Amino acid sequence: MSSDDRHLGMGASITRRDFLNGMAIGVGGAMAAGWLPGDIDALLAQGIAPYPPALTGLRGSHVGSFEVLHQLRDGAFWKAAGTPENTGEDYDLVVVGAGISGLTAAHYFKKARPDARILVLDNHDDFGGHARRNEYTHNGRTYIGYGGTQSIDSPAPYSRVAKDLITELGIDVTRYQKVLDAGLYKSLGLGPSMFFDKETFGADRLVVGDPRDDAFQAAAPISDAVRRDLKRLLTERMDPMPGLSSAEKKARLARMSYTDFVTTQLKLDAGVMKIFQTRTHGLFGAGVDVVPAQDAFALGLPGFAGMGLDAAPGPGQNFDSIHSEEAGHYYFHFPDGNASVARLLVRRLVPGAIPGSTIDDVVTARADYGKLDAAGLAVRIRLSSSVMRVRHIGPAGGDQRVEVAYVQRASGRQGLETSGPQVLKTVHARSVVLACWHSVIPALCPELPAAQKKALDYAIKVPLVYTNVFIRQWTAFQKLGVQRVSMPGMWHTSVNLDFPVSIGNYTHPKDPNEPIVLHLSKSACKPGLPIRDQHRAGRVELLTTSFETIERSIRDSLGRALGGGGFDPARDILGITVNRWPHGYAYQYNSLADDFWVTGGEQPCVVARQKFGRIAIANADAAAYAYTDAAIDHGHRAVTELLAQPGSEK
């Protein structure tokens, strides 16, 4: 190991600690008695499974969750697969995908048919899909972070169906102001900042404040030309399209990126864009090089003040840049993000799996994963089960069934390795909801019409990483006066102190001397390529980058950005959970890549989500809208379609 690595703390075997952390909560007494890593096998042999939310290291789409599906994609799986073992299980409904859409589908089916037998299958070792919970335990106290879906928050108002479900689950979004300690960070004098790294900007410097501030511009390590043009961009009223109406200007802006607008229309120094490049990562999973200028205007990026543009959305505007007052007020964040929504659904579907009855107690309730798939339950959730084929068996009519073939990894080893024993099995169902990612469906369901498969394939996902870093103390943030750091040149491009939310018995750390969860995010994108190609390339990057590489970059970034406040990565980092989502957000149409989105042509998601016999199609992909309300709406729609079908009842 190099001395640099030692300095960063790479020597601490975090991977080993990861497993121990994951096991520790599950085996309490055993850990206290001094179990060593090698004993994991012994524990597994005793049937003691890891507790997924506490596993750290590379999570999200974890090792073991996607390999067989990639074999299926590559046409290799069925060539080598033997004959599936028929479990003999026959369900009223099988749901593929235990994300919020699949859980919603199970919920509404159960409501309509209280006696129904339902099986939910998911390839991950945890439920919730992107809505993923991360936990850390230190000195007897549990700290919670969100590993995916962050909040109940959507650019458009929630539908009646989605609002009703949120209310039915007991969530009152108006309570958010009570559970959020909105003034905490401000009271400590913390605010935004940007870390300029030497590889991108020529010098390592943390600059506190906002690029609009004079002091920020003066302190930033940028050339005089960039400083001058940054100021012009932020303050001058320029109009590079005089003589055109607002609508005509927007039509042009819809067809050029924000980078093109700033550099070729406003003719400002390209160096300015380095400061803005990652501004749109959180919404689009890509930088301003592929975000249409019309959307950049609507999102409030600078440079449009002199153009006289009206605020009404123009043709081809992305959902994310259309402002809605009503949607802005419908917001709630749980410490584990929307994993709490998933957990509330599971609590209803599988009684006893998550103790308690309120949204206060769900936050700290420990899920009993052993209860999710118990024999005899009306609703069973089977994890670590990758569905490989879904096909109708027998002629259409009351006796027709859908056969669902899946590969199940042996329980207990989930997430720990790729190679554990795997078994190919089948179950049968009267109806199936495919609540999984649309791009997977053509391989699962070869009998679908070619046009529908093509449309499903269009739903390329946006690759993202949400990393939680559990640290010993946040005094460095206090000393530096920062709550969040934008790091446009680093692998993770932002780091935030966690949301100061306290619910029920869960209390957010208030004292900088206490441990806290940091949230880091990365959009895996490749500036220079068209947006859809960026998503493809980003997915490959995420699947081929090791945890060690990511860990080193985290330690390096945090050490360099926060070292001035005394942050020491070797001393201060207690745990790292990298939630990588190579298949992240649902792809939302935009005016640079999707002509039909501007001209009003047919949307692939509408073709993709059509019911096929006894198979209905859900997931947020069904709306090409990367939000929980879409997942709910389309889980509900899929079930409504199945229930309306003649012969769906017993």
Q: Which residues bind ligand FAD (CB under 6 A)?
A: 69, 96-102, 121-124, 129-131, 148-151, 153-154, 386-387, 435-437, 440, 444, 464, 466, 581, 584-585, 619-620, 626-628, 631
Is the Cβ of residue 354 or residue 405 nearer to ligand FAD in the bound state?
405
Q: Which helix (H) or strand (E) holds 470?
A: strand 462-471
Nearest distance in Å: CB 246, ligand FAD:
31
Report the distance separating Cα 326 and Cα 157, nearest Å: 6
Q: What is the closest distance, in whole angstroms, from the C-beta atom of residue 122 to ligand FAD in the complex?
A: 4
Distance, in Å, from the CA atom of 612 to the CA atom of 137, rounded to the nearest integer, reads 47
Please, which residue, 424 or 631, has the CB nearer to ligand FAD? 631
Shortest reach from residue 619's CB to ligand FAD, in Å: 4
Q: Which is nearer to ligand FAD, 287 or 584 (CB)?
A: 584
- SS3 string, 333-390, reads CCCCCCHHHHHHHHHHHCCCCCCCCCHHHHCCCCCCHHHCCCCCCCEEEECCEEEEEE
Pair type for strands 118-121 and 379-382: parallel
Residue nearer to ligand FAD on the CB measure, 304 or 499: 499
C-alpha span between 305 and 325 (Å, rounded)? 22
Sheet-wide strand order for 57-60 = 57-60, 573-585, 462-471, 516-523, 494-497, 482-486, 191-196, 205-208
Q: What is the smallest separation between the CB atom of 267 and ligand FAD, expressed in angstroms?
A: 36
Q: Which residue number, 50 or 60, has a Cβ lying nearer to ligand FAD?
A: 60
Closest approach of ligand FAD to the CB of residue 389, in Å: 9
Nearer to ligand FAD, 328 or 394 (CB): 328
Cα–Cα distance, 122 to 126 (Å, whole number): 8
Cα(19)–Cα(512) distance, integer angstroms: 28
Q: Which residues contact 135 (CB under 8 A, 6 or more apart)?
A: 25, 51, 53, 54, 142, 143, 144, 145
CB-CB contact of 615 with 402 (8 Å): yes
Amino acid identity, residue 72?
L
Contacts 24+ apart (CB under 8 A), 509-513: 509/143, 509/474, 510/181, 510/184, 512/188, 512/473, 512/474, 512/475, 512/477, 512/478, 513/473, 513/475
Beta strand 133-138 pairing with 494-497: unpaired
Is the Cβ of residue 160 or residue 650 nearer to ligand FAD in the bound state?
Answer: 160
Q: Least Å distance between CB 447 and ligand FAD? A: 16
Residue among 100 and 501 whose Cβ is closer to ligand FAD: 100
Closer CB to ligand FAD, 96 or 573, in the complex: 96
Q: Tell the smallest beta-carbon distance from residue 140 to ligand FAD (Å).
A: 30
Q: Which two tokens stand for residue 355?
A: 């103790």
Minimum distance from residue 97 beta carbon to ligand FAD (Å): 3
Nearest distance, CB of residue 216 and ligand FAD, angstroms: 28
Nearer residue to ligand FAD within complex by CB, 233 or 405 = 405
Q: Residues with Cβ < 8 Å from 79, sequence gap 6 or more?
A: none
Least distance to ligand FAD from the beta carbon of 479, Å?
30
Nearer to ligand FAD, 387 or 517 (CB): 387
Pick the closer one to ligand FAD by CB: 195 or 625. 625
CB of 166 to ligand FAD, least distance (A): 11
φ/ψ region of 208 (left if φ > 0, alpha if ψ in -120 to 50, else beta) reads beta
Residues 523, 525: Cα–Cα separation, whole Å: 6
Angle, alpha carbons 507-512-514 (nearest 5°)? 55
CB of residue 312 vs ligand FAD: minimum separation in angstroms?
25
Give phi and psi for 285, each to the nearest 5: 65, 20
The C-alpha atoms of residue 646 and residue 123 are separated, in whole angstroms, by 31
- Backbone φ and ψ for 269, nearest 5 degrees, come out as -60, 130
